[in-house]
Each structure stands twice: as C-alpha cells, then as structure tokens.
Structure 1
Amino acid sequence: MTPHISRKTRVTGAALAAAGLLAAGITVGTAGASTTQTSAKSAMPIKLSASHRAELLRDASTTKAQTAKELGLGSQEQLVVKDVIKDADGTTHTRYERTFGGLPVLGGDLVVHTAKGGAIKSTTKASKHSIKVASTTAKIAPTAAAKSAQGTATKTLSAKGADAQTPKKVVWAASGKPVLAYDTIVKGVQKDGTPSRMHVITDANTGKKLFQYDEIHTGKGESQYSGSVELGTKKDGGKFTLTDDGRGGHKTTNLENSENGEGKPFSDDDDAWGTGKPDDPQTAAVDAAYGAGVTWDYYKTVHGREGIKGDGKGASSRVHYGDSYVNAFWDDSCFCMTYGDGEGNKKPLTALDVAAHEMSHGVTAATANLEYSGESGGLNEATSDIFGTSAEFFAKSEKDPGDYLIGEKIDINGDGSPLRYMDKPSKDGQSQDNWDSNTGGLDPHYSSGVANHFFYLLSEGSGPKEIGGVKYDSPTADGSKVEGIGRDKAEKIWFKALTEYMTSTTDYKGAREATVKAATDLYKAGSPEVKGVEAAWAGVAVK
C-alpha cells in the first residue's frame, strides 16, 4: 500500500479566491515604543500545541468546583469548561458555560482571567444577575412549546419543511432575570435554499417567546479569478485527494448538487486540480480548499490560534450545494463550510473573503458565541467582516489587492458596487454608520456597520484618503478627527477582545469595554492605541 503523503501542490490555471496586498498602517509615535512593544508581546496569546491546550483544559476541568466556589456561585451551579487561551506573560483566560440544577444556562457563560501564579485577576460575565430559578419544573408542556416554536419558525422562514425537534429545558439568563425556559430547534429550509436550524426560546411557565436565532450564518460571494495556488493534498492508493493534513486534516468534498450529506471526496490522478472554469467541478473545490488554507494560516500566524476551535483540527468544505444556490454558509453542527454554485450554476461562491468570513463565524461560536440577534448579532457579523478583510490583506495576492470593501468582486447588485463598505457603511443604503437606540432592532448584516466603521476608523482614521488604489472618505458621528493606529494592531485588539472579554450577550457598549481592556493589556493604559480605540468608538457614537 502506498503510504499517506501530505503534499503541497501548485494548481495551474485554477480559480484564485479573493485576496489582498498588505496596506501600510499608520505609525504611532516612537516615544516609549520599546516599552509598548514589550507590553504588547507579553499580552499576546501564545500558540498552544494540541497537547498543551488539552492539558490546560483538563486542569481547568479538575479545578472547576474550586473555581465556582471562589466566584461565589450557588450550590446548584456548575461550570463547564469550553475554551482556554494563555498569554505570553502567563495570564490564562478560561471560558466556561454554566449549568443550574443540571440544566444548561443560556447567557450564563463567563471568562475567568487568572494570573501566572493561579490567582483570579477578574471575571467577565454574560449576565450580571445571580443564576437561580424558583423551580426547574415547567408549567408548560414540551409539546406546547414545540408547537409554538414551529409556528414562529414557519412565519420567520416563510418556507417549507419546518420541523420542530423535542424541546430541551434550560435556564434563560441572556436578558433580564433568569427564567426556566425551553430551547426548541426547528429545522427547515429558507426561501433561497439555505438550511435553517432556528432556535426558539420559550418561557416554560408562561409560554411566551423570549428569543429566537438561527444557527446557520450566511454570506455571499463568487470566484472568478485566474492564477495558480498551492493546496495541501494527500496521496492514497495511487490517487490524490483534497485532504490537507498540514492544516488539521481539512477536507473538501462534492455535494453534486444535493442539499444533504458529507459529500463525495474529490480525487485526481496527477495532483493538478481544476481549469479555472466553473464547468470543471474541481475549480470550485480548488477555491474552497485554498480559502480554508489561507484562513487557517491567518489565524495561526497572526493570532496564534491553530484551527477554528484552537484545537488543531480542521473543518471541512462542501461545494456544489443545491441547484443555482446563490449563497454560502457556515454550519457549526457539522463544523463545515458549504458553497453554492451561484446563478445558473456558473459562479461558485468560493472566494477567499467568503471563506474567511464564514469560517470566522466558527471562531466566534467557539469563543464569545455572540448571539445572532440584536446588537450581539451585529457584532457577530462584523467580526466575520473584520477577519474576512484581514485575511484578504494577509494573503498578499497581486491579483486582487486588499481593501475595506466587503464583497466588492461579486457584483450582487449588478452595478459593480460592493455589498458593504467599512469606511462608510451607510453607502450600501441599509447599514448604519453609527450607533443609536434602534441598532439592536436591525438585521445583523446592517447593525454590523457600527463595528465595521469602528474597525476602519481604528485602522486607518477618518477623512478622505487613498489606500491600495481605493479611495475612502470616512466620517465620524461627532465630526471629530480620528487618527488610525494601523490595521495590524486593530485586528489584534479585536481578536483579543473577542476571545477573552466578549460573551454571548455583549452589546456595543460591552464591545467598547472589551476592546479598551484588550488594548490596555497589549499596549498599556493611556497608550496611543488605547486612546485610538476610545476615539474610534466615539467616532461611531459608542461612549
């Protein structure tokens, strides 16, 4: 038998996904630069090997009862270890979920920040309320909750096949005083063919709907680029497959226009994949595999995170979903990316920015798990835009220089305009430039404008300028002038805030607090970077 070989192969003429050239950041003053650099390095997360991460998780699990006691949690509360990050200075950030009386607490997540010596420095909680309910016995029957949830999902989806699963009893603590509730998952299909896993949260004593959100997060894009890219492939039994052992065993499979299953593995005799034309099924697979590889490399190189969950395991990518499906989506339940072939099955939605955007939803799910509704939903969507844009710049492609335009190559609008603009989000006609009391009521794709605008201001500053051949003109809510600190620093601040200081219920005010904390950890209190974060938030009316 031929041994398994992990390979790097160059694909000539294969479709190249969207990428970008590194834009020069604005240099912060040199006074105290050495001290600032030392501070930033000590607060940066270190790259954890799979075994080291597993060891830290085991340690946290072993001591979780003692941690709960130190935090003053009630006798019916227990901690469940979810994730761990360790900084260069020895500070450990352990993320926990909570249970009460054996029931999952939605909105009960918290992060414990521990010093090198083991002492708890601080705690970040999703809920400020004490977690307790008078009784864990429901007054409403599960069948009633399921029927109500199915009706809600059917109305929301306006589509076929809504099927309510058996409700699970939980404690709802994400908003207001904790209450006993049911979490009902309703499976279905949206009008555009996107699968749906709608969660409907129902008060278990009154039957009132408390919340709803969909597990499936969608985005749009296409791949029409030519060139050669390197792929990780594997030889097995005389044929090659799109299996990348160098990136956690990521696999790319062919759904062959079906809407279910894992898909059929791609195989090739000579390890030369695709033609750059959409009529070759391998072309979409090349782009999907390339996008997954660049996203893996971005998170590992820039943020020290190996894999979406930080555990060194690769996701999977499924291409050729459905018939003329004009979308792509991340599904955490299968830990996979899925791509349609676009209008007329001629424009596969497999561009790099789509891949990085959607897989970043997976990173968010594995860390802060921002609820995909209200202001936290906007932050969730913006996080994917921020890291999708950052991955484009990271790729340094000469074919498509990086920019702060979202979906600029896909021409969904039919006039060559982008889907979203980070310098002035309202240019798309629907997104918000600045926060106001109505932000939480918008679709997450539009409330994300506030955070996207913040990130642009933090990176590049306000006013007119040209970056990489693209002209921008970013306003501020109060007319103030904001000086950028550079994208390299901005993306590190956002990542640290997401993974260490944001929780499932974080809103825009909470995001401001999280990014100020992250910038303070990295660059010290009163630094130009911290002042830059504060100024950028003021520029989008978040104070």
Structure 2
Amino acid sequence: MNQRSFTLLAASIGAVSSLAHAPLAAAPLPQTMMSAPVVSTPQARAGIVAQFEARRAQRGLNANHGFAVLVQHPGMQGTQVARVAHTWKGVPIFGSESVVVLDPNGRIQSESSSERRAGLGKSTGTASATNGPGQDFSVVPAISSKQAIDKALASIGADARHVAPPSAELIIYPVMRTERTAAARDKQEYELNAVDVEEVVDHYELAYLVHTRMHVGDKPVYHDTVVSARDGSILDQWNMLQTVIGVGKSQYNGEVPINTTFADGKYKMIDDSRGTGGMFGAMAITNANHGTTAGKVYVNDTNTWGDGKNYIPKGSTLDANGQTAAVNAMWGLMNTYDTLKNIFGWQSLDGHNTATYIAAHVNTAYDNAYYSDTCRCMFIGDGSSFYSLGSIDVIGHEMGHGVTAATSNLTYSGESGGLNESASDINGEVVEAYARAGGKGETIPATGNDWVLGKEISKTGTPLRWMTKPSKDGSSPDAWSSSLRRIDVHYSSGPNNRMFYFLSQGSSEDKASDYYSKYLVKAPAAMSGIGLDKAYRIWFRANTTKFTSSTNYADARTKMIEAAEELYGKPSREATAVMRAYAAINVGADVDE
C-alpha cells in the first residue's frame, strides 16, 4: 500500500503585535542541536549506576542507598541526559533524584540533584525505624498494593470507571516541612523572599504511590494518591489532569497547511512525516465524537478539510464544520512538533520521536482541553461558554506537558506543580510566536504571541490568564509568597509566567504599569529583556537537563542561572537577566545590570 503526504495550500498568517516594553537583544546564533534519540540499554544503565556507586562513600551514604535510572533522553552537542532515582534498600525515595549530563562515552559531565535521602541510614536517637529518619528504616509493607489501590479508589467515589488499569508503586515518602533560613528568622511573613525558606524532611513514611485514571460520567478524574503502606491512610493526593480551562480559537487561523496521508482512495489525518510508532504510527487527529475515548482517525474523500467556522452544537463531527476542530488540532500539533525540532532538534514530546495524537470533539459542549499521561496524547472539547478548544497556544501548552513528563516530570502539586503549568504556558506562547511567523527557521521570532491565554475563544474578549501581570485574572499572584504551594497549580504558575515575560521582554519603571515590579530595586529600575529566543533556550535547558520532580521556585532560579551561564557565559548579561527576572517575582535578590 502506497502512502504519501499531501500539504494543503497555505495562506499567509498575520503576525500579532507583542507587548514588548524594552529593547530586545539581537537573536543569538542557534545552539548545537540535540543528539539522536538515546537507546537505553541495560549495559548503559548499569554504567551510569556504577559511577554513582563509586561516589557513594564520599557522600556519606551507606550500602543501603542505591540508584535507579528512570529515563534517558538526548542532550546538546552529542551528550545524553539521564534521570536517576535515589533509592533505599531498592525502594525509590519520592522526589529525591539526580539529573546528569553524560558525554558520548557515557561518563558523567555534570549533576543536578534534589536531596531528600540524608536522614535515611542515620540514627537521630529519637526517630523510629518505621516512620522517621533512622538507621534501619524498614521497607516491608503491612498492606498489599491491591489494598492500597482500593484505599485510593475509595477516596474517589463509587461512580468512577477506569480509563487505564490502576497501579501502585512502593515508595519512601519524605514528609516535608518548611523552615526559615537563619538570616530570615526575624523577618515578618510578608517580607519573606523565596530563598528565605527551605524545605526539609520532617520524617519518612513507607507508602504506595497509586495512579488512578478514571471518568466520572463524561469527566476525566485523574489522581495520584500517596497511601500509607503501614495502615492504608491517605497521606497526600493531587489532581493529575494537566489541563487549561476553556482555551482555544478554532476558526481564527484561516487557511493553514496540514499534512495528511493518502491510502486506499481516502485521505487520513495522519502526518507520517512527524513521529513514529505510537497508536497510529505517526502524528494523528481522531474524532472522539462526543465520547470519552479517542475514536477513529479522521478520514475524508478529498484533501480539503473544514469550513473555518466554530463548531455548531449538536452538529455532525464529520462534515466540513465538524472537521474544523480537527484542522486546528493538526495545525497546532504540526507547529508544536516543528518548534521543538527546528529550534533544539528535540523530536516529538519525549525526544525519541514517539508519535502522539489529539482527539477532537471530546464529550459534549466540553469547556476544557487536557493532556493525558495514560496515552501521552491530548483531548480537546468543543466548548459551551467558550468557542471550540484548539488554539495554537492551547495545543502548545498541552503538548508542553508531554515534554515536561518526559524530562523533569515536575510533580503536579505545590510549587513544582505551578512550575509544571508555567512550563506549558511558556511552551504555548513560544509555539504561537513560531507558528505565526511561518513555522520555519532555527530561532524563535521576537514577536507573534500575545502573552495571554484564552483571549481568542473568550466571548467577552477577556483572557483567562495574563503572563504580564497574572493577578489580572483575580486569582493568580504576581510574586512568590509562602502561601504559593497551597493554591491551585494553574494559579501558582503565575509568578513564573511573569518571570519569563520579564526575562524575554523586560520591565517598566512606571509604577502604574502592568510591567512594573516593586522588587526590582537595583539599576536600572527597568530591567532589560533578552528576547524570546534566548529566554526560551535557557528555560528549555533548565527544564530538560537540571530540574528534578521536586524543583521549587528557589531551585528553579538557581538552575536557570546555571543554564544561562552554560549557554552564554559567566558572567553574562543573560545570566544577570535571569537573576533580575526572578528577583522581580520575589525569588532571590536583585542585582545591578
């Protein structure tokens, strides 16, 4: 059977004015592209573990401390990146891990880590061996994994049905507490900066991390639940539905190019030039047809798709009007893929070129779009209060969750969850800028995105989120505070979004401006931006080669500075800009430019 790709005639796409308020630096020369996808062999993993074990004694770790390679993906200049879990008696310690950059021969060049294992193997004289830092912390559970799953399911409700089979992994769960640093001991709460506090291990619990992916009615209910392996109590739980509410734009893209496949006299919405493997062998768009599953790949008699109009409620999902959502989805998927590949050489979501897909018309009048970790794919609704969901920034956002899941895997709770959401917002804005400039080239254009999410589909024209001044949505803070870890991750992302805007575009010294920060106290009063291209390169490097699953705002600042110094030198104006951008959201001290 012959297959070949077809591309529709593209009309020009007008650029959207950016909200820049500071002169931008000239675009840098592109960084060296990513190396080829990594083949992770048992021998290679054993070699990485051996290097860690050789340094175990000098780090004060006994023989019960071990290491397990979680994932490997490409790095820059022929390097590889490996993420390594810290273990105790073979059981992983949740949130404690190392990220290492390996040279072409597999030798460790650099290491970034989150340390939550120090109390294990050390007797404090007071902590028990079962639930505290102790010399012989036991890893023998009192309940089975099935019992743990049953406890997690009971917390969700009886009306749910499984999307994927539930699973449970035995872990050591560090229960954290926040302490002030010595220098901040006498500060008032409102005076605290993110670097004035640190998270420390209060005690350890042997637990199961239970993954449940379910539907209640037609709504997805995805949870990760930490269940005590001693008595079955729920220690922690967070929502894993990585979603942006009511965002999309459907008919506003005009005529756009989409790649399809011709086979057996029919055109299929499969792009066989992007991605391999996966459910459909390449990137694809499916028709959920108001259901909760992916459905079948879109098929058409001709290679002209859609009518450019918003979906008509209760209409056919297969006629020209129903196809428009699929057109938007394919265009967004193609541009997200091309942005990552052309800028970094990063292929698909996981860096290994594994194909993904988007299911259009999920549920009925559904005001949501979400990324699913069960299929590593995306579902978009038709909207009710909003227009059809499927705008370029939303698809870039949701696919950004796939990149984060394959790399830093930021835990979707607390400050790390806010950074996870921010990573996707950043990706959405970058993909929007790249797509609207034609979707070609090895640099991110300086303009083209609008720095807001959801404006196009809002029936009032009011965006759902502002990256420039997040508090304009009424719920997101503009800066870090000690309460940040207790709010929804879609709102705790706000400060980091603002940081990225300042890093890229700069700030204003006008106190009445949306682009002003009271935390910038050094000279000049208005910090200088470094441009969208450089800002994104720094962010992508930090997220893929330095962040760990437990990275918080203070740790993100440290690792963003490291990434900037590696890319542009130490000292460099880019590294200084990172310091100032984080200072602008109350993370670290301000510095002179």
Q: Same fold (TM over 0.5)?
A: yes
Q: Which residue in the other structure is 1:468 paired with? A: none
1:181 and 2:207 equivalent?
yes
Task: Deviation per CA, 1:6-56: give whole Å up to 9, x if none.
Answer: 23233789xx9x985678783449xxx9xxx6xx86xx4523334xx22x6
Give how far 1:197 is off. 2.1
Q: Which amino acid aligns with 2:8?
A: T
Q: Which residue in the other structure is 2:130 paired with? A: none
Q: Which residue in the other structure is 1:63 paired with? A: 47
| SS state at 1:321 partner | coil
Q: Which residue in the other structure is 1:328 paired with? A: 369
Taking the aligned partners of 2:9 and 2:487, their CA distance within structure 1 comes to 44
1:491 and 2:536 equivalent?
yes
Distance 1:48 1:503, change over 3 A: same
Give how far 1:348 is off. 2.1
Asked if structure 2 preserves the Cα contact closer than 8 Å seen for 1:82 and 1:97, the reply is no
1:215 and 2:262 equivalent?
no
Distance 1:94 1:197, change over 3 A: same
Higher-helix-fraction structure: 1
| SS state at 1:482 partner | coil
User: Structure 1 unaligned runs (5+)?
Assistant: 466-470
Counterpart of 2:255 (choices 214, 222, 228) is: 228
User: Structure 2 unaligned runs (5+)?
Assistant: 122-135, 177-200, 276-281, 313-320, 439-446, 589-593
Asked if structure 1 preserves the Cα contact closer than 8 Å seen for 2:451 and 2:467, the reply is yes
Counterpart of 2:114 (choices 114, 126, 129) is: 126
Q: Which residue in the other structure is 1:82 paired with? A: 71
Counterpart of 1:474 (choices 515, 519, 523) is: 515
Task: Deviation per CA, 1:224-280: give whole Å up to 9, x if none.
Answer: 3152111111111111101111111101111111112x3111111221111113242
Q: Which amino acid aligns with 2:411?
A: E
Correspondences of 1:415-434 after superposition (within 5 Å): 415-434=460-479
Give how far 1:406 is off. 1.6
Taking the aligned partners of 1:98 and 1:5, their CA distance within structure 2 comes to 47
State the percentage of identical aligned residues: 33
Distance 1:496 1:264, change over 3 A: same
Q: Which residue in the other structure is 2:36 paired with? A: 49
Give how far 1:366 is off. 0.5
Q: Which amino acid aligns with 2:417?
A: G
Distance 1:231 1:196, change over 3 A: same
Distance 1:448 1:179, change over 3 A: same
Moved more, 136-145 or 284-293: 136-145
Taking the aligned partners of 1:227 and 1:28, their CA distance within structure 2 comes to 32
Give how far 1:121 is off. 3.7
Asked if structure 2 preserves the Cα contact closer than 8 Å seen for 1:162 and 1:186, the reply is no
Give how far 1:484 is off. 1.0
1:171 and 2:216 equivalent?
no
Distance 1:167 1:305, change over 3 A: closer
Taking the aligned partners of 2:207 and 2:470, their CA distance within structure 1 comes to 37
Taking the aligned partners of 2:486 and 2:15, their CA distance within structure 1 comes to 33
Counterpart of 1:258 (choices 284, 291, 300) is: 291
Taking the aligned partners of 1:495 and 1:187, their CA distance within structure 2 comes to 28
Taking the aligned partners of 2:499 and 2:174, their CA distance within structure 1 comes to 29
Correspondences of 1:105-184 after superposition (within 5 Å): 105-114=93-102, 119-130=107-118, 134-140=137-143, 142=145, 145-154=148-157, 160-161=159-160, 165=166, 167-173=168-174, 175=176, 176=201, 177-184=203-210
Asked if structure 1 preserves the Cα contact closer than 8 Å seen for 2:48 and 2:107, the reply is no
Distance 1:162 1:250, change over 3 A: closer
Distance 1:479 1:102, change over 3 A: closer
Taking the aligned partners of 1:354 and 1:190, their CA distance within structure 2 comes to 24
| SS state at 1:531 partner | helix
| SS state at 1:247 partner | coil
Taking the aligned partners of 2:115 and 2:167, their CA distance within structure 1 comes to 27
Taking the aligned partners of 1:508 and 1:257, their CA distance within structure 2 comes to 39
Larger relative contact order (CA 8 Å, sep ≥ 6): 1
Moved more, 262-271 or 62-71: 62-71
Taking the aligned partners of 2:82 and 2:584, their CA distance within structure 1 comes to 32
| SS state at 2:212 partner | strand
1:408 and 2:455 equivalent?
yes
Counterpart of 1:362 (choices 402, 405, 409) is: 402
Taking the aligned partners of 2:66 and 2:150, their CA distance within structure 1 comes to 30
Asked if structure 2 preserves the Cα contact closer than 8 Å seen for 1:19 and 1:401, the reply is yes
Q: Which residue in the other structure is 2:304 paired with? A: 272
Q: Which amino acid aligns with 1:186?
A: T
Q: Which residue in the other structure is 1:195 paired with? A: 220
Taking the aligned partners of 1:58 and 1:7, their CA distance within structure 2 comes to 41
Asked if structure 1 preserves the Cα contact closer than 8 Å seen for 2:86 and 2:96, the reply is yes
Q: Give the alignment's Cα RMSD to 1 decimal.
A: 3.1
Task: Deviation per CA, 1:131-150: give whole Å up to 9, x if none.
Answer: 67622211345565445423
Taking the aligned partners of 1:259 and 1:117, their CA distance within structure 2 comes to 46
Taking the aligned partners of 2:15 and 2:367, their CA distance within structure 1 comes to 21
Q: Which residue in the other structure is 1:447 paired with? A: 492
Task: Deviation per CA, 1:325-360: give whole Å up to 9, x if none.
Answer: 11010001111110111118x932111111000110
Q: Which residue in the other structure is 2:181 paired with? A: none
Give how far 1:218 is off. 1.0
Taking the aligned partners of 1:378 and 1:506, their CA distance within structure 2 comes to 10
Taking the aligned partners of 1:324 and 1:228, their CA distance within structure 2 comes to 25
Q: With structure 2 as the length reference, what TM-score do the two structures score?
A: 0.79
Asked if structure 1 preserves the Cα contact closer than 8 Å seen for 2:48 and 2:106, the reply is no
Q: Which residue in the other structure is 1:435 paired with? A: 480
Taking the aligned partners of 1:101 and 1:368, their CA distance within structure 2 comes to 24
Taking the aligned partners of 2:563 and 2:400, their CA distance within structure 1 comes to 19
Task: Deviation per CA, 1:434-483: give whole Å up to 9, x if none.
Answer: 00110111101111011001001111111179xxxxx9731214243321
Distance 1:12 1:257, change over 3 A: farther
Distance 1:402 1:472, change over 3 A: farther
Asked if structure 1 preserves the Cα contact closer than 8 Å seen for 2:241 and 2:370, the reply is yes
| SS state at 2:390 partner | coil
Q: Which amino acid aligns with 2:396?
A: A
Q: With structure 1 as the length reference, what TM-score do the two structures score?
A: 0.85
